[in-house]
Amino acid sequence: MYPRKPYPSGHPPYNHWGQSDRPYQIPPGPYHRFDRVSRGDESGFYNSQHFDSHPAGSKRTHNHTWNPRPLASVVPGPYTSAPVNARKRQHESPIPNGSKRQRVDSPSHQQRGGRPVPLPHHPNQAVAGTSKTAPSGSTSSRQNTHSQVPATSGSASTLQDYAKDKLSKQMVELFEACQQQASDLSRKETCRSRLQRDIQSVFPVARLYLTGSSMSGLGCRSSDADLCLVLRGSPDIFTLFFQTQPGPDPIHILTVLQALFRPLGYLEKIQLIRAKVPILRFREKGSGLEFDLNVNNTVGIRNTFLLRSYAYADHRVRPFILAVKKWARHHQINDASKGTLSSYTLVLMVLHYLQTLGEPVLPSLQKDYPECFNASMEIDMVPEGPRHIPPYMSQNKSSLGDLLQGFLKYYSSTFRWDLQVISVREGKALPKNKSGEWRNKYICVEEPFERNNVARAVHEQMKFNTIKSKFTASCRILAQSKDLNALLPVRATINKEASRE
């Protein structure tokens, strides 16, 4: 889809650019090119930089330099970029000798229409708009027309600009205390790298990827780690290793891995779970960090990049999503294994709400830039998609507190559960049809790539009623109190996250 550029011999496409001459920055990620795997070439295999979004208050000029004002209590991103003209990376914990980081390089400016689009150098620097605030709970049935106007110098440039009231400040405090730290991601990466080496002793064609909230920027300190084991090769390879054609059987592979992992001294509590997407669940000894490993469920890689693109499109997205997750967990409606909402479903519900406001906070990236998030794109090309997206600058200036109140109101009284399907892909609510995917389902939330129902776990009337009642009651309580403590114990939640250190 995107023609591959010629690179000097020995320089892979996501690697070895100087800090000052990378053309554009995309999300840091553990994603690489599979053609390098088939050649057995791992030189410079993992090489990532920060994902950078677009600064508020910047102008599109050819020779743009931007010195961002740091956020209060900013936590460093997953990987710390090397200084200009420097090669050495800084990490919070050492990586075992011989292992390679899961990474993808990202250029610093995108060329679009002959004009460079400047980007900031910190993932927490986002874009804000300049027009009047839309009502926090208002929605629009029209197709969203997204304003692509440059932000002015008066635009909000920090998260604190959206946190002037008590409720919003509480949400920021919760986010800054609970968001995933660099050390958390480093620990997950160290274990992933070690696991990949051990797995390759049995399956040389295997590559292991961190996915989910750990990589999308939506994780917190207590978040578990999702892993996707990708196996690619000729049918002969599959016949040799798995006795199947044309591809491997996930249950068989996970059973082999379960036997492989048992004698490993750094893993414990290894359990094979035969779900719709089978997983191997285990813990790292000492840290207690839990991992869920699947085989070839590559949609997780696609939606990790999609969600990361949304997460850094606006300052408010990450703290808003974290607050909603903590609220749902506290009210016991955030556990798909118990018939309620998965965290992925909750994230899509938040993104849908932010897309459907009268003045949207977010666009539909798949609708506006379908070529960048094509569901049939080769996995090794997925990290390149976000390079082609210009900055989105929302004119919605609602505070975090207003957005949270609007979210609860939207799902308690505005959204029609019996008639509508939540679609982040389309950026609007779709009417239910009579297909088996949506018929007789209590909650319908479309997976952006596979287009199935990610809320299918909610299959009991009682659980559905409980979920609705939590939205309704919380909406009423928050409207009266304007205090996040009325919805969840903020200090206790923060202390629990702090215990992960």
Scanning the structure block, which residue is given the tokens 């994780």? 219
The pLDDT assigned to 285 comes to 94
Question: Of 401, 406, 409, 404, nearest to 473 (Cα)?
Answer: 409
- For the segment(s) 182-300, the CATH number from 1.10.630.10, 3.90.180.10, 3.30.1490.20, 3.30.460.10 is 3.30.460.10
Which positions ≥6 away from 217 have C-beta within 8 Å? Answer: 27, 51, 123, 307, 308, 311, 312, 318
- Which 3-state string (H, E, C) describes 344-367? HHHHHHHHHHHHCECCCCCCCHHH
Residues facing 421 on adjacent strands: 430
Please give the pLDDT value at position 61. 35
Cα–Cα dist 52/73, whole Å: 18
Supply the pLDDT for residue 45: 27
In this prediction, residue 387 carries a pLDDT of 79
- CA proximity to 258, closest of 289, 233, 229, 279: 279
Q: 34: Cβ–Cβ under 8 A, 6 or more apart, which residues?
A: 207, 230, 232, 378, 379, 380
| Cβ atoms 270, 280 nearer than 8 A | yes
Rounded distance between C-alpha atoms, residue 71 and residue 432, angstroms: 43
β-strands 115-118, 267-273 pairing: unpaired
| Contact criterion met (CB below 8 Å) for 139 and 234 | no
Burial of 64 (0-12, 13-18, 19+ CB in 10 A): middle
Separation CA 193–CA 20 (nearest Å): 29
- Which regions of the chain are under pLDDT 50? 1-101, 103-156, 234-240, 242-245
* DSSP summary character for residue 56: T
Res 174: pLDDT: 97
State how far the Cα of 257 lies from the Cα of 237, in Å rounded to an integer: 17
Element holding 224 (H helix, E strand)? none
Q: What are phi and psi of 221, to 5 degrees?
A: -60, -35
Concatenated DSSP letters for 162-180? G--SHHHHHHHHHHHHHBP
Q: What are phi and psi of 153, to 5 degrees?
A: -65, -20
**pLDDT value for 202:** 93
Query: Which are the contacts of 467, defined by CB distance < 8 A and separation ≥ 6?
Result: 333, 340, 341, 443, 458
184 three-state secondary structure: helix
